[in-house]
Amino acid sequence: VNYGCWIINDSKKRFALAEQVPFGDNNMSSEKYASPFPLHDHGTKEGIRHYMCWYVNEKGIGEYHILIGGVIMKIAEGVKKLGFNN
């Protein structure tokens, strides 16, 4: 594994196994799924890698976000705040 990230879990299921989520249902995609940890590389630029986090919501659905000063934000918002361009 050549990538890493912070993990923030707001789900009540603290130790859930990764589950298959049917894509197309509930706005799911291959980058957003029920797992307490990421199963794919975030592929971000070196300058923002240490801000990356896998955020698991209260329903147990995980997705990459950016963590800045304890604030979780969507990647596009975080990249803009950090002054990076995609």
Tens digit of each residue's pLDDT (9 = 90 or more) over 9-51: 999 876 655 555 555 555 556 788 888 889 889 998 888 999 9
Position 27 scores a pLDDT of 53
Measure the CA–CA gap between 61 and 83, rounded to whole angstroms. Answer: 28
Global pTM reads: 0.78
Position 46 scores a pLDDT of 86
Neighbours of 67 (CB within 10 A): 19
In the chain, domain spans: 6-82
Q: Tokens in use for 44?
A: 């971000």
Q: Tokens in use for 5?
A: 């990230």
